[in-house]
Amino acid sequence: MPLTFKSINHGRVAFGFFNIESDMLLLEHYFFFATDFCDLVTDLAHKNAGAEFTTAWSVFNIERRRNVGDLMGAISGERHLGFIGDTYLKYPFPRKHEDFKQNPTGNSKQIEFVEMIAPYATRTDIPIVVSREENAIAFGDYQFAAWSFCELVEYVWRGGYPRWMDDRGPEYVTGMKAQVEASEHWLFEKILWNDPVRGERY
């Protein structure tokens, strides 16, 4: 489930997985796959630590809150609104608590989730801006201090809340972790892999 994390310019914002059968992540009204997020993090880990860095990154953007949906209503099965509601009609919340684990093969359903989000979203390129002077990274509208960005990376590595099934993440996540650990980039100085998830429930 998404948690809230501290941004520099918008207070606490929602970030994370929203359906255990998909690797799709949300950052407020931006949606993207964890595979793409891990590729971005790996690319950043390889960058020159002293340089400013800007690139364009493709996301699905849902501008209207109603089209995003009602996560808690969808989980309860009572309100299937918008995109998130559609995902829970297809993949309902598990009946057994022990089955509430993030599926490490969720990336196999990316085509399905692209088809589900298409009526609600536009594909948009947002700027990713890494600033050493500000000790921060921006994802489109949202800017995070380096330590807060590390929390986003940690969240994905763990499989968010409630973590990966059997605590075994997919290869694209473990590969990202290895690249970050080998990196000397200042963005990752505050990474704490062994800490519990430090965000809040969404």
Helix, strand, coil percentages in the chain from 3-state DSSP, rounded to 5? 40, 25, 40
Helices (H), 120-197: 146-158, 171-182
pLDDT of residue 201: 45
Helices (H), 46-170: 65-68, 71-76, 82-90, 110-117, 146-158
Q: Please identify every stretch of the chain with a pLDDT value under 50, giving residue numbers as ranges.
A: 201-202
Count of Cβ atoms closer than 10 Å to residue 169 Cβ: 22
pLDDT of residue 197: 55
Q: How far apart are CA 138 and CA 125, in angstroms?
A: 13
Residue 150, classified by CB atoms within 10 Å of its CB into exposed (0-12), middle (13-18) or buried (19+), is buried
Count of Cβ atoms closer than 10 Å to residue 124 Cβ: 14
Q: How far apart are CA 64 and CA 35, in angstroms?
A: 25
pLDDT of residue 33: 98
